[in-house]
């Protein structure tokens, strides 16, 4: 290597550590630049909110839900402004739901939505929790609110359809599952639910068609195959039903479903 190139190269390598030393890291909250006690208290509170959020989210990521709930409760005690207030309630609700405190979790999500009425994720989780609790009136109210926030959302349509189906409102259920399939026709589960709506409405042919679509999209979908067998029996096609039940018995992982399919298959012999 020519000596003329060697000198600049050595100088350049010598400067590298200086570049590394010059690298700076941002602080989570601004450094205090005042001796005013009120300003110092405010900065300290902001720092604590930041730190509690970080620890709460780390705890949720590792499944330590009790510890997470304690962190988010402390955040709420510090009464942070929006969006931190509604977000802390959302995260606290997750921790509460995982520790068996579903009712309090739903109350926290209600409060998050009162503070931030456009919070779609909070409305989504509130609907899921009400459905899990089997509280159909609350699930329907939450799903309606979710649909007002995000009318085209797949989750809003699915939740609204599911709550309506559980509540026996077959018209709304049909409309929501139909709309969901309009934007996502490959979703086998919505075909299954729409099949149930038609079966409960006494529309055996429409039910059979939907359930056939469900099992065509997801051949291992044992629950839909069992429902298809039921629709076929009601349509007088017992041989076809027997074939679907045999396949259900081969595919089903749920023992209750296997038992139901087995009883129905025995009745066809």
Partner 1 sequence: MIRARVPWLAAFAALLTMLSAGGVVLAATTGVLGSDLNALVPSAPPALLAPISEDGRVGWTCEAERAARARSAREAELPGAER
Q: Which stretch binds partner 1 (CB under 8 A): 1-9, 18-26, 37-45, 126-134?
A: 126-134
For residue 54, what are its two tokens? Answer: 């970080």
Integer-rounded Cα Rg, in Å, for the chain is 28
Among 70, 76, 78, 154, binds partner 1 (CB under 8 A): 154
Binding mask 24-63 for partner 1 (x = CB under 8 A): -------------------------xx--xx--x--xx--
Q: Using the rule CB under 8 A, which residue among 221, 244, 245, 247 binds partner 1? A: 221
Q: Minimal distance in Å, beta carbon 41 to partner 1?
A: 19
Region from 5-13, 19-27, 31-39, 83-91 binding partner 1, contact rule CB under 8 A? 83-91
Distance CA 59, CA 53 (A): 10
Q: Which is nearer to partner 1, 13 or 253 (CB)?
A: 253
What one-character-per-residue DSSP string does 102-155 give? HHHHHHHHHHHHHH-TT-HHHHHHHHHHHHHHT-HHHHHHHHHHHHHH-TT-HH
Total interface residues for partner 1 by CB under 8 A: 76
Place of tokens 């709550």: 163
Answer for which of 147, 172, 224, 245 binds partner 1 (CB under 8 A) is: 224
The distance of closest approach from Cβ of residue 117 to partner 1 in the complex, given in angstroms and rounded to an integer, is 12
The dihedral through the CA atoms of 81, 82, 84, 85 has a sign that is positive
69 touches partner 1 by CB under 8 A: no
Q: 77, 132, 137, 205: which one contacts partner 1 (CB under 8 A)?
A: 132
Residue 90: Cβ within 10 Å count: 23
Cα–Cα distance measured from residue 250 to residue 252, given in angstroms and rounded to the nearest whole number: 6
Tokens of 98: 């995982």
């Amino acid at each position: 290597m020519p000596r003329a190139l060697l000198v600049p190269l050595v100088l350049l390598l010598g400067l590298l550590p200086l570049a590394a030393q010059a690298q700076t890291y941002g602080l989570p909250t601004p450094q205090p630049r005042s001796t005013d006690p009120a300003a110092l208290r405010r900065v300290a509170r902001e720092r604590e909110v930041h730190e509690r959020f970080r620890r709460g989210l780390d705890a949720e990521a590792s499944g330590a839900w009790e510890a997470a709930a304690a962190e988010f409760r402390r955040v709420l005690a510090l009464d942070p402004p929006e969006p931190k207030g509604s977000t802390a309630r959302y995260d606290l609700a997750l921790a509460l739901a995982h520790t068996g405190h579903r009712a309090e979790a739903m109350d926290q999500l209600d409060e998050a939505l009162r503070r931030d009425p456009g919070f779609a994720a909070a409305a989504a989780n509130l609907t899921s929790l009400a459905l899990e609790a089997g509280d159909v009136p609350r699930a329907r109210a939450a799903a309606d609110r979710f649909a007002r926030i995000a009318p085209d959302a797949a989750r809003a349509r699915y939740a609204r359809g599911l709550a309506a189906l559980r509540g026996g409102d077959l018209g709304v259920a049909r409309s929501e599952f139909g709309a969901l399939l309009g934007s996502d026709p490959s979703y086998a589960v919505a075909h299954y639910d729409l099949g149930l709506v038609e079966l409960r409405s006494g529309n055996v042919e429409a039910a059979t068609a939907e359930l056939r679509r469900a099992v065509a999209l997801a051949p291992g979908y044992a629950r839909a195959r069992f429902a298809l067998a039921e629709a076929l029996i009601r349509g007088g096609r017992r041989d076809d039903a027997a074939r679907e039940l045999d396949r259900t018995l081969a595919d089903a992982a749920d023992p209750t479903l296997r038992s139901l399919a087995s009883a129905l298959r025995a009745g066809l012999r």
